[in-house]
Amino acid sequence: MAEEFPSVEALERLADHMNTHEDDFAKLGVVDCRMGVRVESTDREYTVVFERYGCSDVAPGTADIDFALEAGVETWQEMYDDIVANGHASRTQTLNYLALPGFNMRVTAEDQLGEDLFSRYGQTLQAFFDGAGAALARSVS
């Protein structure tokens, strides 16, 4: 059975992976945002704070975020399982694909600047989630 995703523990492992691979993330450029991760129809929501080339915090709740990624439990789990199975998101499981209008993930923000941060840092955010395969492999070895 796959790990439930998202959770504080899973996101912390992704943060650890990012922070131990800062050189790789530096190639993508500086990132500075507070991302919310919300699971629809549940009370599961998390804040992930990105600074420079790393992740400085993962916490429950979504206070003072720039934008949020919102999806149902099935969408989050399918994306995560796909990344773990393939080492990265396949074409139909990337954040950009899932967040297209009419698909199963939404990017929400209080203003246009918050929405813009998702697009501006999209490659880094995808690389953060793509770290699931490597982070899971490290946790079981």
Q: How far is CA 98 from the centre of its chain?
A: 12
In a domain, residue 60? The reply is: yes
The predicted structure's pLDDT at residue 141: 43
Rounded CA gap, 90 and 137, in Å?
Answer: 18
DSSP 124: H
What is the domain-level CATH number for residue 87? 3.30.1050.10
Q: For residue 25, give its domain range.
A: 8-140
- On the question of pLDDT at 1 being above 80, the answer is no
In a domain, residue 1? The reply is: no
pTM score, two decimals? 0.92
The predicted structure's pLDDT at residue 3: 76
In a domain, residue 2? The reply is: no
The number of folded domains in the chain is 1
In a domain, residue 3? The reply is: no
CB atoms within 10 A of CB 89: 22
